[in-house]
């Protein structure tokens, strides 16, 4: 058998005519992405116990493969690893497994018998999509070890059964449900569980939930009513983004973190009573429409995307208590002309001023030590930047799309000056002027 193996990584299998049974050599620890891609002559594969990871699409379109013996040390099966293995009928997942990736066994249309360890819940969504096992599962709620893997029913109003403890990633996504009541036995709802449920109007959550994960209700454009129990401590990235009809939200008493874009494009964010959404001194979102914005004294961090696409703002003034500006905080503020930064600011995240087309000059205080990637991307009118001499970390392409006449000013020869010159931006040392 022809194997290309380097340092324990099986990079490629060269298919030989007439060979149907493949035995992977002992000592291989990783089967790399696409290693057996479209090896249609293979019928069986046996792995040594040295294998710990199977890469993306590693056996995709091995359409005649009927049987596979997994390594007893296997921890990861990556995305699409066995997609379109159409003659595979049964699998036994070893006790060592930690994660099965998105679509790992998708379109294995004859796969009817799946054995997984009794305590394993590390399934990504669509792992067994369009398999015989999924289609013939005897209930609308497809459950694996207390995890709701998928809802495949047609009911408009559903109650999550008490036997479920975790609602899996994409478990009910893009379904036609209109209302859902989550059982008090559920203590976790994974990313994107209800995303794209465009007919979903009402959700009832139990007080066993502590976090609304990333994109959980993303683009549920008909959602009008949801209770957020006081047990919730964190609301994740884009959790309710695109829930346009969601106007009445009572934030939980124990809420500590609201991630970026959590309520973007909701009626509640647009029409809220208060101008700022502030959680534990973090300004998570701006809800006003003023041209000149004074950030409140109690704020110490401006969160990711807090002012994103606020096109009315022309001027921002910060108190000196602010120490960090999060990723994309002022991105898309196309009318922003002037910003007064905190004298105690230390960190400026990625893309903070991206697409601020009206910004002409800015002074970065000497307190700043770190700047992320593409901070000033597409600031075409920006011609003057005063940079801190204390900066010792600058990300990639912070001046990308800059005006030809852009000039960077620094107090003395420093890291920022060298960075500017390396990126072919004019730099002047103020002490020499």
pLDDT tens digit at each of 433 positions of the chain: 689 999 999 999 998 888 999 999 999 999 999 999 999 999 999 999 999 999 999 999 999 999 999 999 999 999 999 999 999 999 999 999 999 999 999 999 999 999 999 989 888 888 999 999 999 999 999 999 999 999 999 999 999 999 999 999 999 999 999 999 999 999 999 999 999 999 999 999 999 999 999 999 999 999 999 999 999 999 999 999 999 999 999 999 999 999 999 999 999 998 877 899 999 999 999 999 999 999 999 999 999 999 999 999 999 999 999 999 999 999 999 999 999 999 999 999 999 999 999 999 999 999 999 999 999 999 999 999 999 999 999 999 999 999 999 999 999 999 999 999 999 999 999 865 4
**What pairs with residue 283 in β-bridges?**
278, 302
88 contacts 65 by C-beta, under 8 angstroms: yes
| Cα-Cα-Cα-Cα dihedral sign, residues 129, 133, 136, 137 | negative
Instruction: Give, in order, the Cα–Cα distances in Å from 116 to each of 121, 250, 276, 385.
Output: 9, 41, 48, 58
Return the pLDDT at 16: 84
* Predicted confidence (pLDDT) per residue in 4-61, tens digit: 999 999 999 998 888 999 999 999 999 999 999 999 999 999 999 999 999 999 999 9
Return the pLDDT at 271: 83
Question: Cβ atoms within 10 A of the Cβ of 271, count?
Answer: 9
**341 is written with which tokens?**
């930064």
φ/ψ region of 309 (left if φ > 0, alpha if ψ in -120 to 50, else beta) reads left
**238 is written with which tokens?**
């884009």
| pTM metric for this prediction | 0.86
Q: Can you tell me the distance from the alpha carbon of 49 to that of 352, in angstroms, rounded to the nearest whole number? A: 48
Return the pLDDT at 1: 62
Return the pLDDT at 227: 96
Q: Can you tell me the distance from the alpha carbon of 188 to that of 407, in angstroms, rounded to the nearest whole number? A: 51
Its CATH class, for the domain covering 141-272, is alpha beta
Q: Can you tell me the distance from the alpha carbon of 117 to that of 218, in angstroms, rounded to the nearest whole number? A: 32
| CATH of region 1-136 | 3.80.10.10
SS3 133: helix
189 contacts 165 by C-beta, under 8 angstroms: no
DSSP percent split of the chain into helix, strand, coil, nearest 5: 5, 25, 70
Return the pLDDT at 409: 96
Bridge-based pairing of strands 2-6 and 9-14 is antiparallel
Return the pLDDT at 15: 86
Return the pLDDT at 432: 55
Span 273-433 CATH architecture:
Alpha-Beta Horseshoe (3.80)
Among 84, 50, 49, 42, CA closest to 67: 42
The HSE-up count of residue 141 (CA atoms within 13 Å, CB side) is 17
Q: How does DSSP assign 209-260, residue by residue? A: --EE-TTTTTT-TT--EE---TT--EE-TTTTTT-TT-------TT--EE-T
**Matching residue, tokens 């549920």:** 220
Residue span(s) of the chain under CATH 3.80.10.10 come to: 1-136, 141-272, 273-433
């Amino acid at each position: 058998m022809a194997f290309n193996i380097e340092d324990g990584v099986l990079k490629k299998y060269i298919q030989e005519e007439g060979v149907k049974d493949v035995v992977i050599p002992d000592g291989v620890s990783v089967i790399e992405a696409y290693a057996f891609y479209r090896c249609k002559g293979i019928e069986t594969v046996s792995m040594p116990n040295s294998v710990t990871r199977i890469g993306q699409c590693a056996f995709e379109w091995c359409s005649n493969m009927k049987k596979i013996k997994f390594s007893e040390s296997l921890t990861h099966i990556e995305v699409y690893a066995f997609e379109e293995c159409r003659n595979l009928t049964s699998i036994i997942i070893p006790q060592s497994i930690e994660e099965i990736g998105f679509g790992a066994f998708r379109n294995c249309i004859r796969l009817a018998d799946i054995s997984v360890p009794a305590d394993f819940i590390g399934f990504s969504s669509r792992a067994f999509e369009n398999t015989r096992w999924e289609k013939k599962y005897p209930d609308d709620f497809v459950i694996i070890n207390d995890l709701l893997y998928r809802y495949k029913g047609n009911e408009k109003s559903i109650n999550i059964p008490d036997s479920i403890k975790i609602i899996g990633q994409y478990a009910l996504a893009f379904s036609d449900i209109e209302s859902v009541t989550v059982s008090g036995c559920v203590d976790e709802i994974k990313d994107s569980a209800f995303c794209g449920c465009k007919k979903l109007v009402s959700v009832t959550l139990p007080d066993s939930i502590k976090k609304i994960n990333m994109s959980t209700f993303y683009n549920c454009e008909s959602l009008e009513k949801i209770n957020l129990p006081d047990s919730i401590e964190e609301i994740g990235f884009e959790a309710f983004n695109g829930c346009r009809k969601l106007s009445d939200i009572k934030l939980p008493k124990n809420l500590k973190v609201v991630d970026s874009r959590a309520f973007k494009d909701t009626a509640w964010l647009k029409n809220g009573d208060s101008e700022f959404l502030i959680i534990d001194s973090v300004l998570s979102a701006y809800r006003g429409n003023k041209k000149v914005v004074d950030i409140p004294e109690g704020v110490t961090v401006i969160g990711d995307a807090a002012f994103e696409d606020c096109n009315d703002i022309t001027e921002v003034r910060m108190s000196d208590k602010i120490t960090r500006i999060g990723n994309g905080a002022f991105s898309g503020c196309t009318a922003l002309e002037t910003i007064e930064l905190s004298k105690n600011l230390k960190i400026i995240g990625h893309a903070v001023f991206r697409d601020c087309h009206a910004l002409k000059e800015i002074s970065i205080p000497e307190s700043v030590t770190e700047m992320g990637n593409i901070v000033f991307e597409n600031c075409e009118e920006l011609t003057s930047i005063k940079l801190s001499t204390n900066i010792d970390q600058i990300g990639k392409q912070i001046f990308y799309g800059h005006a030809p006449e852009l000039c960077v000013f620094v107090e003395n020869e420093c890291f920022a000056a060298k960075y500017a010159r390396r990126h072919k931006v004019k730099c002047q040392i103020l002490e020499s002027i």
